[in-house]
Structures are given as structure tokens and as C-alpha cells.
Structure 1
């Protein structure tokens, strides 16, 4: 390999998750210049360019109902350990802060959190400002965070704002979120602060103590070695 510059990991579980929704992953991988037989190994290293193409090609082929099906935390946490670990948090605020901290291990996306006395805001952007996040990437993240907080609290929590640069279609997302999403120059998801502070039924310090050392180690590797600063891990 060419050092550790701009590489990502993709594995069979990630591929199988999309295939179970009916997507033609052989075609998507081919269009993304990723050899399909590489998924037969435990994990396969791809470039950041391939990762960007991969997201775009999924975006071209996935429909709204498939985005919602994909964005189920019970499905995604099986191949994204940082999300599984984040569910061990005491509440949504704590969970989102952990996800933001370890986001670099999941994808080439930044998650910024803002909190005031009334609300908690999640803002998404690509780490390279010249690239706009595809519709699939933004909307699946927004659905995933809502699904996560609902599953972890056992409550049907509704966000107070859902907005992005993308169109939300004919009502599928409005029905899921419980509010009408809107167009904006910012990719944003907002919750009432009191909802973000609802206790998680999945709170588990023992499990977190198992995940935290390895996650922290990987983040430190990225932060101390600029040559791998763009590394993405689909685990």
C-alpha cells in the first residue's frame, strides 16, 4: 500500500447491509472502482476518492424507503463499533458528543454539536469544504440519529428541526421524523435539550470501558500522524 495516505476500510458486513435492501452492490462497487472480490477478505482498503465515489453512487441508486431501512441503528451498529459504543452513553447529549469525537473513524464527515438552554443541534459537513455531502449521506445520518435516540430511550422523540441542502421527497421523511423537513444551506438536525437529556436504557459503563481504549488509540493515531488524517473506517 502507498503508506496510510487517504485510505479507508470497507468490509463484507457493510456490503451485505446494502444488498439486503436490494441494491446492486456489484454495480456500485464497479462504478466506484472497487474490486467486488476484495470484499471476500476481512476488510479492504480503499482511497478517499473511491470512498467519495462510493457515497455518490449509492446516492444515485437508493430510494427514500431504502434510506430509512438502512438507517436503523440495530442494523448499522453491527458494522460501525463507534455507534455501538456511543449507545452505552447515559443520554443523547453524551452519545452525540461521543459520536462527534470518533466521527473520523466512521467516515469523511464532521459532526458539530451546539447546545443552548433550549436545544441541541447536530450539523454535518464534509471534511473537505469543496465537496458537498450527497443526499443519501446526509439524510441517512439524520434518520440514524433520530432512530438511535428513540431506540436508546424507548421514547418516540421527535426532532424540532430537520434541514439540509437536499430535497426530502414526497413525505416519507416527514412521516418518519414527525415534522416537515426543510431546505437550508446547513445540514442540521435539532432536538429539544430536555429530550437529549432523557436517560438511555442502553447506558453501560462496563461495555464503554471495553470500547473506549481502542477508539481513543485510533483517534490519537490520526491526530498525531497527518498522513492518515483523512482515514475513514467502515468497520
Structure 2
């Protein structure tokens, strides 16, 4: 099972449209300032939750998740959403999403019929913390957006259930068109069982047949790429002990040639320098937050020639010098 989520690059323009300062979000989440400039944006569950927590904090709008996921322009849908719209009905669409989500991210979409009701739930299999409220609402709004585009109607659920209380219940009820129940035993989007069979006006069997093999191959490659990036990152971290690892050493550790490793990283939308920077960034945050190391000592362990080089790199990652970051995070 893959350990990473892929963040769509369309999230940045959506944030900017809502006048949410992206640099502030990235600083709050502990993500590098060039986060959205990557070819493929891969994050762990912890980083994904931190990103959405930061969006909610910086925006100061409790309903920001719903607004971010209510995209009206189909051309801005991600590949999974676009392929989902080609299915024959709402049930087939959800089944399609559930399959591909489970294959390409540590996430499950659980849907089941219970009498006259049909419930849809999201579960993040590697989550250690409670899922951010903003993120959960964004997921439910994204699912409803698929249903409304596919059916061509203003379909609404029977109700929306949340474990935690919400301060903006009325706004959620207006958007989803149904009652919102807080302090419920689960987080779930509840439709009528009959809603599952509502046909999609966007159905395109020929396009779905054409997309399916490509999608399956992409998922296979995505899984392999994620695993290889993780292998390279682990090898780099094991050698970050007072000097900068070089590509030849890491290639030998993984029993591949330097050229092969560079090629595979490039195909995965990454590079040796990119994986090295990410490993250094992660370990720098750990050292500063969980140890009493001096900055020069941390710089040495991370393989920098001097403290100034480490400070410059850290400012690029976090937007602030390491000393200030340590004070803020320890506070």
C-alpha cells in the first residue's frame, strides 16, 4: 500500500481565488515555500492533515473546505474526478472512486446500503490524529460536487453526520441541502438508497473504456514511483551522519547504477537533490524540535559545511531562520 497522497496543483489557484495567502499556509503547515512548484506533490498523511489544518487556521473561515471543493468548472477537475463522471450512475461512480483511492493513497471510501439509506464515509488508514474538520468537509463537498455534475441535478443527501460539533451548521445545511447532525457516532454522508441508481448524464462508456487501461498503468507506476522515492529517502537519511551523501553511495546502497536511479527519480517527478533536501528538511525539523543540539551541531549532522549554509537552506524551507522556528515551535 502506498504511503503518500498526491496533492493537486489546482489547490493553489483555488486558495488564491479565496484570497488565502499561500505562503502563510505553507509556513503554518511546516511545508517548503516551493511546495506547489513541484511536478508531483506527494505528502504523508501527517503532512496532508497539517496542510488542511493550516488552511483552516489561516483562512479563519470555518466553511473554507466546502468552498474549496465546490468547483464548477469541469476542466479543473482532477483525473480521478473526470474519469468518475464517465460512469453510468452515482453508485458506479462511488465504486470507481473507492477503487482508485485505495490503490493510489492510504485512504478508503466505505459505502454501504442500510435499509433505505446509503452511507458514504472516508477513512485515512495511516492517520494517527483526528482528521481536520476542514478537510473532512472538503471531502464530503467534493463527493457531492461529483454527484451534482454527474446527475445534472441539485441532488442533496438525507443528512450529514459529524462526530465533532460545528460552529457553522447553518452554512453547511445550505450547501448540502440537508440537516447536519453533530455529536454523531461517525462522520458520514447519508443519501437515499434510491439515489445510488440515478443515471449520470455525463456517462461516456467509450471514454471510460479508453481511460481504464491508462489509469491502471498510471496507478501501477505511481505505486512503484512512491516506493522508489521512499527507498532513496531512507537510504539518504541513514547516511546523514556528519556529511552530505553523494548519489553514487546511495545508488550502491540500492544496488542500482547512478544513471538508473536518476532516471527513475525523474520519471517519478523528483530528483536526487529534491529527495536529499526533503530528507534534510524533515530531520532538521526533528532536531530543532526534539533535541538540545546547537544550530552548528544540527548543521554538521545534516551534512552542511557550515552553520550559515544550514541557515540559508532552512530559510528557504520554512521562511524563517532555524533559531526563530525553534522558539516558535517549542513555545
Normalising by structure 1, what TM-score?
0.81
Report 1 or 2 for greater relative contact order, CA contacts < 8 Å, sequence distance ≥ 6. 1
2:239 corresponds in structure 1 to none
Q: What SS does the aligned partner of 2:10 have?
A: helix
From 36, 45, 50, give the equivalent of 2:47. 50
Q: What SS does the aligned partner of 2:72 have?
A: helix
Greater displacement, 121-130 / 32-41: 32-41
2:10 corresponds in structure 1 to 13
* Offset of residue 64 of structure 1: 4.0
Sort the Cα spacing of 1:76 and 1:134 in 2 relative to 1 into closer, same or farther, 3 A: farther
1:193 corresponds in structure 2 to 193
Q: Answer yes or no: is the 8 Å Cα contact 1:11–1:42 preserved in 2.
A: no
Question: Number of aligned pairs?
Answer: 226
From 16, 21, 36, give the equivalent of 1:39. 36
Q: Answer yes or no: is the 8 Å Cα contact 1:111–1:123 preserved in 2.
A: yes
Q: What SS does the aligned partner of 1:36 have?
A: coil
Q: What SS does the aligned partner of 1:110 have?
A: strand
- Structure number with higher strand proportion: 1
Q: Answer yes or no: is the 8 Å Cα contact 2:49–2:135 preserved in 1.
A: no
CA distance in 1, matches of 2:223, 2:42: 20
CA distance in 1, matches of 2:225, 2:105: 17
Sort the Cα spacing of 1:214 and 1:61 in 2 relative to 1 into closer, same or farther, 3 A: farther
- Structure 2 unaligned blocks of 5 or more: 231-331
2:210 corresponds in structure 1 to 210
Sort the Cα spacing of 1:210 and 1:35 in 2 relative to 1 into closer, same or farther, 3 A: farther
From 83, 86, 108, give the equivalent of 1:85. 83
- Structure 1 unaligned blocks of 5 or more: 231-235
* Offset of residue 33 of structure 1: 2.8
CA distance in 1, matches of 2:130, 2:46: 14
2:20 corresponds in structure 1 to 23
Alignment of 1:92-107 (within 5 A): 92-104=90-102
CA distance in 2, matches of 1:225, 1:37: 21
Q: Answer yes or no: is the 8 Å Cα contact 1:73–1:148 preserved in 2.
A: no
CA distance in 1, matches of 2:226, 2:7: 21
* Offset of residue 118 of structure 1: 2.0
CA distance in 2, matches of 1:20, 1:102: 29
CA distance in 2, matches of 1:138, 1:100: 16
Larger gyration radius, structure 1 or structure 2? 2
Sort the Cα spacing of 1:150 and 1:116 in 2 relative to 1 into closer, same or farther, 3 A: same
From 123, 133, 136, give the equivalent of 2:121. 123
1:145 corresponds in structure 2 to 143
2:244 corresponds in structure 1 to none
Q: Answer yes or no: is the 8 Å Cα contact 2:56–2:62 preserved in 1.
A: no
Normalising by structure 2, what TM-score?
0.60
Q: Answer yes or no: is the 8 Å Cα contact 2:29–2:51 preserved in 1.
A: yes
Sort the Cα spacing of 1:125 and 1:48 in 2 relative to 1 into closer, same or farther, 3 A: closer
CA distance in 1, matches of 2:169, 2:111: 29
Q: Answer yes or no: is the 8 Å Cα contact 2:25–2:54 preserved in 1.
A: yes
CA distance in 2, matches of 1:88, 1:24: 35
1:171 corresponds in structure 2 to 170
Sort the Cα spacing of 1:220 and 1:103 in 2 relative to 1 into closer, same or farther, 3 A: same
